[in-house]
Structure 1
Amino acid sequence: MTEKRRIQRVAVIGSGIMGSGIACHFANVGVEVLLLDIVPRELKEKEKAAGLSLKDKRVRNRLVNDALAAAIKSKPAPLYHKNFAARITTGNLEDDLAKVTDADWIIEVVVERLDIKQQVFEQIEKYRKPGTLITSNTSGIPIQFMSEGRSEDFQQHFCGTHFFNPPRYLKLFEIIPGPKTKPEILEFLNGYGEQFLGKTSVLAKDTPAFIGNRIGIYGIQSLFHLVQDMGLTIEEVDKLTGPVIGRPKSATFRTVDVVGLDTLVHVANGLYKNCPDDEEHELFQIPAFINTMMENNWLGSKTGQGFYKKIKGENGRSEILSLDLQTLEYRGKKRASFPTLEMTKSIDNVIDRFAVLVGGKDKAGEFYRKNFGAMFAYVSNRIPEISEEVYKIDDAMKAGFGWEHGPFQIWDAVGLKKGVELAEAAGKSVAPWVTDMIAQGQTSFYTVEQGASYCYDLNNGQQVKIPGQDAFIILDNIRESQAVFKNSGVVVEDLGDGILNVEFRSKMNSIGGDVLAGLNKAIDLAEKSYDGLVIGNQGANFSVGANIGMIFMMAVEQEYDELNMAIKYFQDTVMRLRYSAIPTVVAPHGMTLGGGCEMTLHADRVVAAAESYIGLVEFGVGVIPGGGGSKEMALRASDGFMKNDVELNRLQEYFLTIGMAKVSTSAYEAFDLDILKPGKDLVVVNKDRQIATAKSVARQMADMGYTQPVKRKDVKVLGKQALGMFLVGTDSMEAAHYISEHDRKIANKLAYVMAGGDLSEPSLVSEQYLLDLEREAFLSLCGERKTLERLQHMLQKGKPLRN
């Protein structure tokens, strides 16, 4: 039997932004990390003043300690939880390099110079034990040169492992074999990256910039030239290349500002130098306006200005200026709008927009035809140069650049033949294999059969099942074939093995009447004919909460009876989740706010993605949690009361969780807020595995003999004792101008619910008693003018109003 390789200790050599980020992500997944860097060559003034010498450990480890401290403080945070920093030990390359002998994996992340990397590897080999993984995080230096002169064992266990920055958030993990890398090493890294690091592992060839940066930098350079040819502004390009086509909000120019123009220029220059045979070779030449920006040190966020510049306006408010690419002077931002984009506003699924966008009759339509046509030709001509497989290019762009769809998926969306026409109209030629594919009668790069994704394979001219799907359930692939119920808000799918899934399909997965009706129908179906129920989806976010538009309209029309019924329906639904005859598992990810959090609080078990941002945020729209959230926090506080405990203090923690609208910045932080329960709820690092894991948890609970829970009537509330404390606190906060008068009113309503009303002494009450108090408080706040203002502001501006 083959020996099982396990990763318990990792050594990271180099503590720069990437090295520290990689160290933090390994700490995130429970690995012990040794982070090493060079010894400073001279003392700082404050070290001299303190009487320290270059032999002092604090001085010798100063570079690595400062780098790690800066990383941990940075935003967005590189750690899932601040306590995970304890898993990282620091040291220096002179005193501590021998410690790499205990590592299972050594990762080099030093400066991008081949001679320095080779020197580091020579030193490492003195202490590395045979069989230890050794990889480089280079983004541009050929892997084949790095291990020259090293032992056979070193070379067999050596390859490139290219993380994208920031390592916690960007999923792409490129694996680049060296000339002698053993196949089993590549196979191990591929599986480890996917399962343990939560990455999209992509096996790349040892070509310049590998896959992600080769295509990504081409795309940006292509835009730099196109923007000049078409006379577009940077606001227009960012509008055209942002969320409307499934790209990050930072789109193109804002992304370059964040990454750093110098970083982009470095990679582009490398491609210009190292890809002389690329048909788009001249495109990698840096345009004149970029060279001017480099000379002016306008590198983006790191230098305070790039394509955008933040200044203080006359009124003292921050103002964002934009760079005019014609004059290279900063000016006020201009609003960008195009009729073609207006036509896509009613199309919720991004993939369905592309056919409309390339058909646009305005400048936007022209832009998309030229941009996509050029991209289609370029990616087709990179196969088999940078990859043998179509899907690897799409995976790399989605995971490394945050694209919702890769270029070949977009090509499928506009039509295979139409894509060829766009390329030709843009003056480009697609690769011969594409025309061969069309001649064979193929109509798309991808197909779905029996819930699995297939992709066209050049080598045999057929659709081949994409490997590695067995650990995943892809809802897009089973939505039609396995649906047992659907309405405008949900699709209920049969996941197999007796487990159903409820997938929200509303706008931003908000929870309204149709979603609640679908949830109740799913529970009915599961109790009658199935063994368990999962509530999960694969949208950008699990749920942004209740449909506040519906609440606002009812409140404005003063339809309080209907609003009362709607709130009760929500409460009854979450209580059914808790007290149904079958196990219920909720699978939150991304934003899980308000009502989405309340769903999570009432499941039997939670299988959360590590990147879950969970919280009760109703204060921001002028109400308290009304779907069981206020009740549940009072219940969880009660369950935490211990003998001789200061119960008021414990209750106050839960009160502040709601009152301060606390949102966890990862699933691990949700344990601190008692939204997730240790020993009961699970965290998965790879979101792609989440639905499959939730299904297996539901199945396991059913197999262990699930018993329908008994409704709780033993919730301890503290009555006037707690209420008095809360009221004094809110009065003081208003008097000190920490909160507004309306904030105090909302907080007092919450206090009344969580104290269990004005009972004269601590008492045991039922959940229903607290739900009734919660609903009454929610309704009364909906009658307040300032609450209506907050609801309206959130609907119009998408952010909370403090009035």
Structure 2
Amino acid sequence: MKRRIKKVAVVGSGIMGSGIACHFANIGVEVLLLDIVPRELNDKEKAKGLTLEDKVVRNRLVNDALTASLKSKPSPIYHQKFANRITTGNLEDDIAKVSEVDWIIEVVVERLDIKKMVFENLEKHRTPGTLITSNTSGIPIKFMNEGRSEDFQKHFCGTHFFNPPRYLKLFEIIPGPNTAPEVLDFLNSYGEQYLGKTSVVAKDTPAFIGNRVGIFSIMSLFHMVKDMDLTIEEVDKLTGPVIGRPKSATFRTVDVVGLDTLVHVANGIAENCPNDEKHDLFKLPGFIDTMMEKKWLGSKTGQGFYKKEVAKDGAKQILSLDLNTLDYRANKRASFPTLEMTKTIDKVADRFKVLVKGKDKAGEFYRKNFSALFAYVSNRIPEITDELYKIDDAMKAGFGWEHGPFQIWDAIGLEKGIEMMKAEGEEPAAWVNEMIASGNTSFYSVKNGATYFYDIPKKELIKKPGQDAFIILDNIRKSSEVFKNSGVVVEDLGDGILNVEFQSKMNSIGGDVLAGLNKAIDIAEKDFQGLVVGNQGPNFSVGANIGMIFMMAVEQEYDELNMAIKYFQDSCMRLRYSSIPTVVAPHGMTLGGGCEMTLHADKVVAAAESYIGLVEFGVGVIPGGGGSKEMALRASDLFQKNDVELNVLQEHFLTIGMAKVSTSASEAYDTNILQKGKDIVVVNKDRQIATAKAHAKLMAEQGYTQPIRRKDVKVLGKQALGMFLVGTDSMEAGKYISEHDRKIANKLAYVMAGGDLSEASYVSEQYLLDLEREAFLSLTTERKTLERIEHMLKKGKPLRN
């Protein structure tokens, strides 16, 4: 039977429940969000003379929770209008409506008695065959379905979303004793394909996979920090981006999640895993007990391991907790010689060998930390899972690690890792020694573009399942390389489609990237059918190389700068006017020049989590790679008979002038950076390159024809220019913008109006590109623009001057 999910019911509207409801709304599913009825009136309701029978009162808890969720930052929803897909109700008046849904997700408080009571009520109304799952973070599934019908148990399991559901990719599926295999298969594929998750089927053990290993890792650090006399700043420095972990590292992450949440899960593991060989590590150190008593739980209580304070002079400062005195003190900068040695190593995987060889406290920390982690995860097989890759997938998707424990072990070296562990008094599980004895020297290998993992029962490397829908560039780069320079790698994706992958720092766009892009178009036009521009780094591109622009401007090399800008413009125009279809696949930060490249593709296949915008105003210039031209062109294409054309143009002008950045790909349609009917959004970023390739191939097969350059862009001349200049004058007079902001905005106005033409006219794209380039160049001669660029280079933040 083909199962389709058109409508879900989410029972429980707390932070998790509302977040899950929003994420289903994100992907277009209709949602019924239910919660309990309040037992008493609040003061506002009493003042209005309402009673407990009024619908607005009965739905107060669910409505307040959803409203709070939609206002929270970062937002749980791709676009605020998607909230219309969510209907709210309560568990007394509306519970019968669950008969109409395809999937019921329970997200109530983590108490078995309450969950069982909820399931009993739901079963009275549930239609047989409907999926029903619990978003528990640790209660055994086998206890929850006791007393339920055979059909209920067959369609019941755990589906553990990580918080926040929109952003964290881990989706653990935990079967109950009687869950049908086809239910697990469906949820596994649905999580990947529709929810954009990394689906991991776990065993029904305490805390499942992600939290079992993640909480061990944090608790291990809690004990280690005292033993090694480390500060919390030092631990966060050691456990952050240098090893491919989030910037929030360890202690800041705990503050965000909430110390009480962490303690709850740690206590659950301590109580329910008496045979865990590291059982003592789950007992809370003294400083955690004290923090719990004092309600220093993190962001939710205003202080935890860090505390934000406003000084007498109004300046904000972050204080850190001294774990010895439990007093807050000024932040101390952490630095280690070992970390300095990794600064020139771009690939995180290549840093691990250097880190564990360190002769200072950092080296000692990494040896102890990784040894404990390797021993722990090897001993969790087969307890929490039979396949080692699931542990790595869970840690990457649930905790934001770039590499899972077994991948880190491979990076250090299998036997080197064991040697290090033994020196630290740790032992790997017996199967690891058996693996070495059987002649295997790593947990993973790559063959023919696919990842293989060591299968413990078979004692050999087998292909990791579920890869057929993905193209993993790391796996194919060496075998499929067609061209390479210091800025890009061009790979053959198969079926006549090439891919251009940026390789520069933060994927910024400089001369080498543009040369590589042009070379890829040359190769594709000669021997291939289509071209994808995509990569699998953290961000698509942070924009043009402003360091290069700054140096040219400071040296007053304006002819060279003019040529560099024209090269960027010409490269973007080649994307649009090549003889083969071009598809750009943006994700993460897609700013400035990265956005301009996106604007010029035949089609955009954007990841849902794409933050796209033309942000050049922040460094004192206008978009100079075709972005200003393109927004004028897109405004022109929207002009309708009897329209107030100035209003349409103004919206596109403000998109650049206010440096608007979408908070999701869906929002980018509002600014016309993504175009409805042409560009598409994919929820699972892992599928993005494969999807982009499929669209490039389809366009080629349908008979792609090289477009003709546009000469029909309608510009409004003096009429628009006058309106823009009056607007910028009033903005400056009202002190909303600075004098230099006005100057940049007026330059942009001149370009988008098509100059000071006496009447509306039709012009070519090249005409607008020339105006754009001239305006960009003139702004680089301004001292205040150079100050803005320099500030961005040094501080990473825009300067208002």
TM-score over 0.5 (shorter chain) = yes
Match of 1:367 in 2: 365
1:277-676 matches, cutoff 5 A: 277-676=275-674
Query: C-alpha distance in 2, partners of 1:45/1:699?
Result: 62
SS in 1 for 2:757: coil
Corresponding letter in the other structure for 2:35:
D
Query: C-alpha distance in 1, partners of 2:731/2:144?
Result: 62
> Is 1:749 the equivalent of 2:747?
yes
Match of 1:46 in 2: 44
Query: C-alpha distance in 2, partners of 1:320/1:228?
Result: 22
Query: C-alpha distance in 1, partners of 2:747/2:589?
Result: 26
Match of 1:128 in 2: 126
1:695-714 matches, cutoff 5 A: 695-714=693-712
Corresponding letter in the other structure for 1:498:
G
Deviation, structure 1 residue 313: 1.4
Deviation, structure 1 residue 49: 1.1
Deviation, structure 1 residue 518: 0.3
Q: CA RMSD in A?
A: 0.6
Corresponding letter in the other structure for 1:330:
Y
Match of 2:148 in 1: 150
Query: C-alpha distance in 1, partners of 2:73/2:140?
Result: 32
Query: C-alpha distance in 2, partners of 1:299/1:428?
Result: 32
Deviation, structure 1 residue 438: 1.1
SS in 1 for 2:479: coil
Match of 1:114 in 2: 112
SS in 2 for 1:217: helix
Match of 1:140 in 2: 138
Query: C-alpha distance in 2, partners of 1:422/1:621?
Result: 48
Corresponding letter in the other structure for 1:660:
M
Deviation string 1:122-152 (CA, Å, 9 cap, x unpaired) is 0001010110000000001000000000000
Query: C-alpha distance in 2, partners of 1:433/1:767?
Result: 65
Query: C-alpha distance in 1, partners of 2:729/2:350?
Result: 53
SS in 2 for 1:101: helix
Match of 2:250 in 1: 252
Deviation string 1:525-570 (CA, Å, 9 cap, x unpaired) is 0000000000000000000000111111111111111110000000
Deviation, structure 1 residue 426: 1.9
Query: C-alpha distance in 2, partners of 1:738/1:248?
Result: 35
Deviation, structure 1 residue 412: 0.4
1:783-798 matches, cutoff 5 A: 783-798=781-796
Deviation string 1:461-513 (CA, Å, 9 cap, x unpaired) is 00000000000000000001000000000000000000000000000000000
Query: C-alpha distance in 2, partners of 1:313/1:654?
Result: 42
Match of 2:16 in 1: 18
Query: C-alpha distance in 1, partners of 2:421/2:57?
Result: 58
Corresponding letter in the other structure for 2:17:
G
SS in 1 for 2:669: helix
Corresponding letter in the other structure for 2:543:
G
Match of 1:4 in 2: 2
Query: C-alpha distance in 2, partners of 1:362/1:780?
Result: 51
Deviation string 1:752-785 (CA, Å, 9 cap, x unpaired) is 1111111111111000000000001111111111
Match of 1:766 in 2: 764
Query: C-alpha distance in 1, partners of 2:279/2:438?
Result: 31
Match of 2:160 in 1: 162
SS in 1 for 2:381: coil
Query: C-alpha distance in 2, partners of 1:197/1:793?
Result: 40
Corresponding letter in the other structure for 2:378:
S
Moved more, 193-202 or 345-354: 345-354
SS in 1 for 2:34: strand
Query: C-alpha distance in 2, partners of 1:113/1:452?
Result: 42
Query: C-alpha distance in 1, partners of 2:741/2:412?
Result: 50
Query: C-alpha distance in 2, partners of 1:734/1:164?
Result: 46
Deviation, structure 1 residue 691: 0.2
Corresponding letter in the other structure for 2:762:
L
Match of 2:83 in 1: 85
Deviation, structure 1 residue 342: 1.0
Deviation, structure 1 residue 359: 1.0
SS in 2 for 1:197: coil
Q: Percent identity?
A: 81
SS in 2 for 1:480: helix
Corresponding letter in the other structure for 1:782:
T
Match of 1:181 in 2: 179
Query: C-alpha distance in 1, partners of 2:655/2:5?
Result: 37
SS in 2 for 1:316: coil
Query: C-alpha distance in 2, partners of 1:573/1:347?
Result: 30
Runs of 4+ in 1 over 6 A off after TM superposition: none
Corresponding letter in the other structure for 2:542:
V
Deviation string 1:714-738 (CA, Å, 9 cap, x unpaired) is 1011111111111111111111111
Query: C-alpha distance in 2, partners of 1:650/1:487?
Result: 42
Query: C-alpha distance in 1, partners of 2:441/2:701?
Result: 44
Structure 1 residue aligned with 2:218, among 209, 217, 220? 220
The TM-score normalised by the length of structure 1 is: 0.99
Deviation, structure 1 residue 257: 0.3
How many residues are paired up?
801
SS in 1 for 2:499: strand
Query: C-alpha distance in 2, partners of 1:361/1:801?
Result: 41
Deviation, structure 1 residue 314: 2.4
Query: C-alpha distance in 2, partners of 1:315/1:482?
Result: 59
Query: C-alpha distance in 2, partners of 1:613/1:791?
Result: 21
Deviation, structure 1 residue 193: 0.3
Query: C-alpha distance in 2, partners of 1:411/1:688?
Result: 24
SS in 2 for 1:481: helix
Query: C-alpha distance in 2, partners of 1:234/1:495?
Result: 45
Query: C-alpha distance in 1, partners of 2:416/2:787?
Result: 48
